[in-house]
DNA sequence: TTGAAAGCGTTACCAA
DNA sequence: TTGGTAACGCTTTCAA
């Protein structure tokens, strides 16, 4: 234990100030640099005795390989780029954690790229960073597919929450989630539903709308949709008044963040949720459970999405083929909380 | 506009599949590789005519410098590591955005590292990633200073939300924020306050407690503190019952996420906020404004914190000296919302 | 199984 | 102002 006034003359670790290279290790171990490289990269390729000495020497000197040199010779940076529209949306920060966890297991680091919900920025950043990463995880891309196509040839890409053509992807069964929502609301007696949509380029958005339409049409009910709202809290507050101008008794938001914005504005205008209007979101972000009333939402498998996407990408990089192919669609499930209730039919 | 069935035979950009190096540019421009390097890195060092030809050639070939090679020769990766305890806490994702924005302006990318609130993981990750970045932004570090000291010698480090010895840092005036909170509550008539503390290693936590104690003592009131709660939503829910076991009429949480956990549990137990107990958080995360009741909280300058931290780090890397020194403490301010109200004095 | 040496793409020094 | 050239640290043939 060091005392408060201690200015620290002693260094705690053996970390050298000068950089120790593979040559230093080689010299200490009494072998060639080539053998050190082999002993460290593929231990099975050298004799146990040599391997031992190399590892001991490396440990003694506190050797850490220079990633830049490694990248230069192999062409691999051991970094993956995770591109998200907005890291402050809990859905994306949760996915980041899952991605980072899995990536680290495979010896990879994660370069996080926040595009600020802007398609142009997205394309731009992907282009300029393409050389710094071994591959991209494109999460909920906001750019139209044709802008991304060129990169698919040059760079390894896996999409998350987006079903592209001929791209490995991991998605959720949004259409089914939407169906669950619609049936829940219809069962509560609602006949006039509204959907506050997200970004046009989002395939999640399209699937959710599709699922909603199908179920609503089958029941002979009515669905109004408000298109292209910014998938943010402010987007939600702004949309609230538009929704209230219709006679809808239940509103489904593209995601929970929008839903919370709607909730806020409804409350501000004295519209009771769910007494006067029912509200549903998508994603089941943690905060959705802690509002008043707590938000009914469609949960998606965030952890598994992140981990599987990394697996797909590493397979791609290592030239492995997946038995089932690199496309996965995970089930979704509706979590009913306090923001949905029986329709009063008039508002 | 492409039709739906189009499988995309045309490539949109000029991006080459083969890698184009500085030599290719040199050949096309009719100069040496060295001149290309100069023309691109420091245009003033080369004659306008040459510069022109080089830039034209680079553009024509779609040249993008190889970062690994650059890093190998210069020792600079042009990446900065941002280390945070938990990226799902909105305070940290907001700071990330500010950091990324500023970093990009300076030509840097951001390697985000989530330590999962674990001090050991933090030390470990910083150690192993030290060679891949030019420097670290250590945000709200959870490891004790003595574990981080060794890195301060070997690596450029700026701390955020942490006042270390001899480390450039950008912090908020937490003690003053705490004072504002205490005076607000005292003015409302509260005499028995409780503080649900955060991580022991957090200097923010220490400062907040210190400010609270000073103000409470000055007024001759009472402060109970519950130490070392996990700074998470669950940490908050767990602490709620402990708080209710005391006679405190107002509770201050280390941060908003804890506060929301407290709020949830209070509500679940039928304790009215603020009728029976007042509640205050720190950080002013966006979600704090949308709960019911909305949360009174101490706002900090997230944007400026992130940007300034990057500035400090780049100064450090480029050997620049700041006129005012590389230490900045930003003001905080209390935002009163619905979760605080007059003390009823009995509970 | 091991060593020597070439090369990855860039920068920076030294001459010209 | 330019070009030649030697590094930077590592991997990977090719021989031994």
**Residue B334 contacts residue B320 (beta carbons within 8 Å):** no
- Would you tell me the crossing angle of helices A302-317 and A90-105 to the nearest 10 degrees? 40
Stated in angstroms, how far is A329 CA from D16 C1'?
55
Q: Using the beta-carbon criterion (under 8 Å), do B15 and A150 form an inter-chain contact?
A: yes
Per-residue model confidence as pLDDT tens digits over A148-178 = 887 777 889 999 999 988 889 999 999 999 9
pLDDT reading at B213 higher than 90 = yes
Cα–Cα distances in Å, from A239 out to A201, A252, A273, A282? 19, 12, 16, 16
* Confidence grade of residue B346 (pLDDT, cut at 50, 70, 90): low
CB of B160 within 8 A of CB of B308?
A: no
Pick from A345, A297, A336, A346: nearest CA to A189: A345
Residues in B closer than 8 angstroms to A132, CB to CB, are 67, 79, 109
Q: Where in chain B is the domain with CATH 1.10.260.40?
A: 22-66
**Mean pLDDT computed over every residue of chain B:** 90
Which DSSP string do the residues of A118-135 spell out, in sequence order? Answer: -HHHHHHHHHHHGGGSSE
D12 C1' to A113 CA distance, Å: 34
**pLDDT tens for residues A214-253?**
999 999 999 999 987 899 999 999 999 999 999 999 999 9
Q: How confident is the model at residue B277 (pLDDT cuts 50, 70, 90)?
A: very high
Cα B315 to Cα A184: distance, rounded to the nearest angstrom: 57
**CB within 8 Å of A138: residues ≥ 6 apart:** A83, A126, A148, A157, A158, A159, A160, A162
CATH class of the structural domain A22-66: mainly alpha
* CA separation for the pair A282, A300 (Å, rounded): 8
Residues of chain B with CATH 3.40.50.2300: 79-172+302-330, 174-300
What would the mean pLDDT of A100-106 be, rounded to a whole number? 96
- Residue range A79-172+302-330 forms a domain whose CATH class is alpha beta
pLDDT at residue B347, as a whole number: 53
Residue B104: predicted pLDDT: 94
Residue nearest to nucleotide C3 (CA to C1'): A32
For residue A347, the model assigns a pLDDT of 53
Is the confidence at residue B164, as pLDDT, over 90? no
Higher pLDDT residue, A195 or B10? A195
pLDDT value of residue B154: 80
Give the pLDDT band of residue A284 (cuts 50, 70, 90): very high
Mutation pick from A109, A130, A306 vs chain B, by most beta carbons of B within 10 Å, is: A109
- Residue A290 C-alpha, separation from nearest chain B C-alpha, in angstroms: 6
pLDDT: is B302 or B10 the higher one? Answer: B302
**Contact A290/B at CB under 8 A:** yes
Angle (CA) A64-A69-A72 rounded to 5° is: 145
**How many DSSP H helices and E strands does chain B contain?**
12, 12
Provide mean pLDDT across the span A175-183: 98
Q: Is residue A161 a contact partner of residue A139, using CB atoms and an 8 Å limit?
A: yes
What pLDDT digit, counting tens, does each position of B65-88 carry?
A: 999 999 999 999 999 999 999 999
% residues pLDDT > 70 (chain B): 94
Sequential DSSP letters for B203-255: HHHHHHHHHHHHHHHHTT-EEEEE----SSHHHHHHHHHHHHTS--SEEEESS
Question: If you write DSSP's letter for every residue of B21-78 in order, what string do you get?
Answer: -HHHHHHHHTS-HHHHHHHHH-GGGS-HHHHHHHHHHHHHHT----HHHHHHHHS---
Q: Between residues B6 and B137, which one has the greater pLDDT?
A: B137
Q: Which nucleotides of D are covered by protein (CB under 7 A)?
A: 1-5, 7-13
A112–B116 CB contact, under 8 Å: no
- The two structure tokens encoding residue B205: 């936590």
What rounded mean pLDDT belongs to chain A? 90
User: Which CA distances in Å does B275 have to B44, B173, B292, B297?
Assistant: 68, 30, 13, 17
Residue partners of A205: CB distance under 8 A and separation at least 6: A197, A198, A199, A254
Superfamily of domain A174-300: Response regulator (3.40.50.2300)
């Amino acid at each position: 234990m060091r005392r408060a006034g201690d200015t620290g003359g002693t260094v705690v670790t053996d970390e050298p100030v000068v950089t120790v290279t593979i040559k230093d290790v080689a010299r200490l171990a009494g072998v060639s640099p080539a053998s050190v490289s082999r002993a460290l990269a593929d231990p099975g390729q050298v004799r146990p005795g040599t391997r031992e000495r190399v590892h001991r020497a490396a440990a003694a000197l506190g050797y850490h390989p220079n990633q830049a040199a490694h990248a230069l010779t192999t062409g691999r940076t051991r970094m993956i780029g995770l591109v998200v529209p907005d890291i402050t949306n809990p859905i994306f920060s949760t996915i980041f954690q899952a991605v980072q966890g899995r990536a680290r297991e495979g010896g990879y680091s994660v370069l996080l790229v926040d595009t600020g919900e802007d398609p142009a920025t997205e394309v731009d950043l992907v282009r300029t960073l393409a050389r710094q990463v071994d591959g991209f995880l494109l999460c909920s891309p906001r750019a139209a597919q044709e802008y991304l196509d060129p990169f698919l040839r040059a760079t390894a890409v896996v999409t998350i929450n987006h079903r592209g053509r001929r791209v490995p992807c991991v998605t959720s069964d949004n259409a089914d989630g939407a169906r669950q929502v619609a049936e829940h609301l219809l069962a509560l007696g609602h006949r006039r539903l509204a959907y506050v949509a997200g970004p046009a380029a989002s395939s999640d958005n399209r699937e959710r709308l599709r699922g909603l339409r199908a179920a609503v049409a089958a029941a002979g009910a009515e669905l109004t949709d408000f298109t292209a709202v910014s998938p943010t809290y402010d987007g939600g507050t702004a949309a609230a008044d538009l929704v209230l101008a219709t006679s809808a008794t239940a509103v489904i938001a593209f995601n929970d963040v929008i839903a919370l914005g709607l909730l806020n504005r409804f409350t501000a205008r004295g519209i009771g949720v769910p007494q006067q209007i029912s509200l549903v979101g998508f994603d089941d972000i943690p905060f959705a459970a802690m509002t008043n009333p707590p938000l009914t939402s469609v949960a998606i498998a965030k952890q598994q999405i992140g981990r599987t996407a990394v697996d797909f990408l590493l397979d791609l990089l290592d030239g492995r083929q997946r038995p089932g192919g690199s496309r996965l669609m995970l089930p979704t499930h509706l979590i009913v909380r306090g923001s949905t209730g029986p329709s009063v039919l008039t508002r």
